[in-house]
Structure 1
Amino acid sequence: MTKEENELWQKIEAFTLDEPGIGFSFSQRLARENGWNLNYTERVIAEYKKFIFMCCITETGVTPSDPVDQAWHLHLTFTRSYWVDLCQNTLNKQIHHNPTKGGVKEADKFDGFYNTSQKLYSDKFGIAPPVDIWHDNDERFSDINFQRVNIGKYWLIKKHRVPVYSLSILMLFVVCTIFIQASDTLLSALLMLGVVGVVVIGVYKWESDPDKWRNKGGGDSSSGCSTAGCGGESGSSHHGGHDGGHGGDGGHSGCGSGCSGCSSSGCSGCGGGGD
């Protein structure tokens, strides 16, 4: 790190998200909402601070891991802590987060931003990102089928995709065998085998990536960001990731499906709040 970067990092690292003397802190809320233990939650918060640091210094773009993104989402709801204490008083930058417009091109582009994030992380902190928080690209941009569930009303049972797939094959094999034995012609038997093959392939592809097939129309429900300068000119809104927005220029910020990102602009003269 440069001297300026080191000074910035020390300020970010010293920033606390847990307000002292309260019964339900930021870290406790983050742990509860994600089903994490407190040790893992504290590690995620530490990684979130590193991501915020990278947002401030990137020359290209960065994208957070999903656990880091969850910490970011929650922090945005603590509006005074985020916009005043962090962005205005600590960073002197506004770090924005907006919904994505989606699209395959943006997804491909900002899959690269996630690679950039991990390289910048290693360059600045001298170690590789922890793999249990910064997952690989495949998992980061595919394991995204989340919904808000009230666990006080519903039981949650883990889906085991391999047994479901195996059961489907077994049932189709039994049906196929019965049909072939009852069939009078070879053509009918071959037709049944073709139908079975198509169904098996379809089940396998759906089980491998159900979200891809659900959103085949090109849209998704992920979040992204845009860059806004102090003069009120908004940069291009894109899919996740972070664009440094140096000098107030509009940036191309984003990432692949299911992720989110950020953009920064100097806070001087912009007032105290965010969007």
Structure 2
Amino acid sequence: MLTAEQTQLWDRINRFELDDPNAAFKFSERLSRENGWSIQYAHRVIVEYKKFIFLCCVSEKGVTPSDAVDQAWHLHLTFTRSYWVGLCRDTIGREIHHNPTKGGESEATKYDSFYTGTSKLYFEHFNELSPADIWPTNEARFSEINFQRVSLDNYWLIRKPKPTKTFALLGGLILLSFMFIQASDSDIFILIFLAVFVLIIAFSYQKEGRDSDKRDRDGSGSGCSTAGCGGDSDSGHHGHSGHGCHSGGHSGCGGHSGCSSGCSGCSSSGCSSGH
């Protein structure tokens, strides 16, 4: 539950508008396009990004955002007037900085713990669980981190199918094919096998695409440092450029390897006072 002071802070953050009504290409649209998300999912991520900023302000130990939230934060930092003036100065009354990670196993362990703590803090303050399609498990958060910036004008991207069912089907098909081939002198069964193989692969990719679209329709590392909240500046890690955060404490993270986790942290002390 929120104190009266925290309620005022959250109300200010929640009312803060990232989309410029006069812009032809709004923040949410850019966030959607750059991450391949539906616009509905992007809007939901923005809400969770605002909650992360709030948690960064009220946390006494530290919090770490999910990768989706991190992408919203990273993009917002490029809207310098909106971020530094609109959000930091005029809305929360403090600067929240984005810093590189130091890396290492100790950072990895610390920010894995921060991410667990973030989920608990989220429930304590918002009286609900964080949405799993935006805030995945620790294992997914710190393992699904192999990101690169890719130009879609120069490359095709094909989604990988989930292997379990595909391999089971292929295994059964291969077994049946050998049985048929041994029972016949014709090569027709080899051609049939190849045709069915292609169909299974195509079906797997198509199903993955439908599942992804459903996650988007359903709603489908970096860190921060806050000036005026005490503490020194430390680091976090971002999947693309390796940024982190802390808010009057220490921050940053390194995932399991300590250097390529795409994660972040934010710690703060005395940051719930608003202006």
Q: Distance in 2 between matches of 1:129 and 1:53?
A: 14
Residue of structure 2 equivalent to 1:82: 83
CA distance in 1, matches of 2:150, 2:246: 33
Q: For 1:35 and 1:18, how far apart are their aligned partners in 2?
A: 18
Change in Cα spacing, 1:106 to 1:232, as seen in structure 2 (3 Å) is: closer
Measure, in 1, the Cα distance between the counterparts of 2:17 and 2:226: 26
Moved over 6 A (4+): none
**TM-score (ref. length: structure 2):** 0.68
Q: Corresponding residue for 1:151?
A: 152
2:181 matched residue in structure 1:
none
CA distance in structure 2 between the partners assigned to 1:231 and 1:137 by the alignment: 28
Q: CA deviation at 1:105?
A: 1.3
The letter of the residue matching 1:140 is: R
| 8 Å contact kept, 1:95–1:263 | no
> 1:260 is matched with which residue: 259, 264, 275?
264
Structural mapping, 1:3-152, within 5 Å? 3-152=4-153
CA RMSD for the aligned pairs? 2.9
For residue 149 of structure 1, report the CA deviation from its aligned partner.
0.8
SS of residue paired to 2:95: strand
Q: Deviations over 1:201-240 (max 9, x none)?
A: xxxxxxxxxxxxxxxxxxxxxx545647569994344557
Of 204, 211, 233 in structure 2, the residue corresponding to residue 235 of structure 1 is: 233
1:183-198 → structure 2 map (5 Å cutoff)? none
Alignment TM-score, normalising by the size of structure 1: 0.68
Distance 1:59-1:230 versus aligned 2 partners, 3 A rule: closer
1:150-197 deviation line (CA, Å, top 9, x unaligned): 11221111234738x96xxx9xxxxxxxxxxxxxxxxxxxxxxxxxxx
SS of 1:69's equivalent in the other structure is: helix
Q: Which residue of structure 1 lines up, in the alignment, with residue 184 of structure 2? A: none
Match of 2:96, SS state, is strand
Q: Deviations over 1:123-160 (max 9, x none)?
A: 00000000000000000000010111111221111234
Aligned pairs, how many? 207
SS of the aligned residue for 1:98 comes to: coil
**Which consecutive residues of structure 1, in runs of 5 or more, have no partner in the other structure?**
171-222, 246-250, 268-275
Q: Secondary structure at the match of 1:99?
A: coil
Shift of 1:89: 0.6
Q: Aligned partners of 1:54, 1:231: CA distance in 2, in Å?
A: 13
Following superposition, the deviation at residue 254 of structure 1 comes to 2.4
Query: Deviation of residue 19 (structure 1)?
Result: 0.4
